[in-house]
Amino acid sequence: MSIKNINGYISTHLTIPVSLQWKDDHANLNAMIDSGASGCFIDQTLVSILRIPFITKQHSVALQLLDGSPLKTGPITKETIPLSVSIGTQHKESFSFDIVSSPAFPLIFGLPWLRKNNPYIDWERGTLTLNLPKQKTSIDIPYNTSSTAIAATTLPEIYEEYSDVFQSTGTDTLPPHRVYDCPIDLYPGSPIQFGRVYPLSEPELKVLKEYIDENLTKGFIRPSTSTAGAPIFFVGKKDGGLRSCIDYRALNNVTIKNKYPLPLITELMDRLKDAKYFTKLDLKGAYNLVRIKSGHEWKTAFRSRYGHYEYLVMPYGLCNAPATFQRFLNDIFREILDVYVIIYLDDILIFSSSLSEHQDHVTSVLKKLREQIVR
């Protein structure tokens, strides 16, 4: 097991509570007020999880960072549909947000919003006042002017004791069987349809051969004589590479669904409203940390130009994989879940109200990861 990255930051910006609404859904968030931002932005991951509708911008927008360098993720090409934005009980407006991959805050109100509303900020009282046609709305805002936001790109020295948790070697070995192994229970009498092999281009065949060789070496797959066989294909990644996908639709159609719930994003966000310190951990090769239940491996079989194979670890594409993995992590962190940790699939967010408290919380999480997952 390893952690793909550790990203911690201190929330010290001026923020206000807002409610976003679209169609028949809504979310309550804290929005950062940033006069240095040339637009209004929303986190791409948040858009995906909340399923906020979006469209392609007529003209892409190239952003520059404070040092003049371009945004690493490239120009902004997507924006949300106009969302209903409520602030307090009396102020409501419609606004579209540019979608950015990972802003320092999930929601940012920049210059366009500030120019439109021209709010008055009382720094001494800690209030933001919006002028309405017939009255004024005053909104209390939490802020801290004594610190600045920090993004950690290397492991902080205080956590060096747990450097083994961040090593990639753990993701290259077959995990042990646990009570969390993923079963694939089928409806009685339901055969798995045998899928035809999809034609692949020369670059795709090259990546396919590398993928098979790599996973055979790791022990994640093995040659199969299964009566099942899903086709494999590839989709493009943002960096221009190719991502493998197994078409498990036929298998999923006859699989009894795992009803374990995924957390509601709105509830997760509510847990963070009083926190000032955050650390985000992304688990590398997350689903591959879980084994397929012994005897069920044959059901994961896939066919390709280079042979017939089946998984020993949980692959992406199985209908019960998200629920299985959520249960796995929730059980590991059950004692501290919603106390100072929230989890959505392979994303772990640690939150605290003070720095010293936060360091203890992060250490506690790393210790649990080492005890329960690191191999």
pLDDT tens-digit series, residues 158-172: 777 887 777 765 667
The reported pTM is 0.64
247 is catalytic: no
More confident residue, 188 or 45: 188
End-to-end CA distance of the chain: 6
Q: Which residue has the higher pLDDT, 123 or 236?
A: 236
- Spatial distance between the Cα atoms of 127 and 182, rounded to a whole number of angstroms: 51
Beta-carbon count within 10 A of 297 CB: 19
Does position 230 have pLDDT exceeding 50, yes or no? yes
The pLDDT > 70 percentage for the chain reads: 84
The CATH number of domain 3-140, selected from 2.40.70.10, 3.40.50.1010, 3.40.1440.10, 3.40.50.300: 2.40.70.10
Would you say 139 and 88 are in contact if contact means Cβ atoms under 8 Å apart? yes
Predicted local confidence at residue 308, as pLDDT: 96
- Neighbouring CB atoms inside 10 A of 315's CB total 23
What's the CATH superfamily of 157-372?
HIV Type 1 Reverse Transcriptase, subunit A, domain 1 (3.10.10.10)
Cα 223 to the chain's mean position, in Å? 32
In the three-class reduction of DSSP (H, G, I as helix; E, B as strand; rest coil), residue 120 is classed as strand
Strand blocks (E) in 11-82: 15-22, 25-33, 41-43, 54-61, 76-80
pLDDT for 146: 38
- Whether residue 296 has pLDDT greater than 90: yes
Catalytic one of 24, 25, 34, 282: 34
Which among 108, 93, 138, 139 is positioned nearest to 35, based on CA atoms? 108
Q: So what's the pLDDT on residue 211? A: 94
Dihedral in degrees, nearest 10, Cα atoms 188, 190, 191, 193: -150
- Both tokens of 290, joined, read 């879980």
**At residue 317, does pLDDT exceed 60?**
yes
Q: How many of the other CB atoms lie within 10 Å of CB of 288?
A: 22
- pLDDT score at 141: 54
Q: Work out the average pLDDT over 176-185.
A: 95
Residues with Cβ within 8 Å of residue 354, at least 6 apart in sequence: 276, 277
Q: What is the pLDDT of residue 16?
A: 83
- Give residue limits of the domains in the chain: 3-140, 157-372
Cα gap 197→90, rounded to integer Å: 58
